[in-house]
Amino acid sequence: MSKEVINISSGRKLPFSSAVRAGDFIFLSGHAGMRDDDGNPLETVEDQTRKTLENISKTLKAAGASLDDVVKVTVYLGDQGHFSRMNEVYGTFFKEDLPARSTCITGLAVPNMLLEMECVAYSPRR
């Protein structure tokens, strides 16, 4: 089985890959969305959820896949009170053939980070 590392440049050298394709599976590292495209901070869970899923979509595209190929998502929320608002935005990205999902309430590694998501996609090479 081949292994391919996919890195989306963030301008910072990080000790992990954005994603790794192993055969027909693509494993994404945790993604967040704390700033908009102009570098302004995103302060609501809705905005961070939207940006996080946009970032995930970009990484999947770099790996030759899309959100339609996602089979499993894990959501890490810093505050249980954000669940329903995160879920509303999440539902606008995944509408049919929904991936499996787990949601954990936990502390997050970066101040002002309201959530982090990781996922697994299945996308046979075309």
Q: Which CATH class is domain 3-8+17-122?
A: alpha beta
pLDDT value of residue 2: 80
**Which three-class secondary structure string do you get for 72-87?**
EEEEEECCHHHHHHHH
DSSP class of 109: S
Q: Which long-range contacts (CB under 8 A, 24 or more apart) does 12-18 make?
A: 18/59, 18/62
Extents of the domains making up the chain: 3-8+17-122
61: left (phi over 0), alpha (psi -120 to 50) or beta: alpha
pLDDT tens figures, 31-67: 999 999 999 999 999 999 999 999 999 999 999 999 9
pTM, rounded to two decimals: 0.94
pLDDT tens figures, 100-123: 999 999 999 999 999 999 999 999
pLDDT higher than threshold 70 for residue 10: no
Q: Which residues contact 118 (CB under 8 A, 6 or more apart)?
A: 27, 28, 29, 30, 31, 73, 74
Lowest mean pLDDT among 7-11, 66-70, 84-88: 7-11
pLDDT value of residue 126: 67
Q: Which residues contact 41 (CB under 8 A, 6 or more apart)?
A: 34, 35, 112
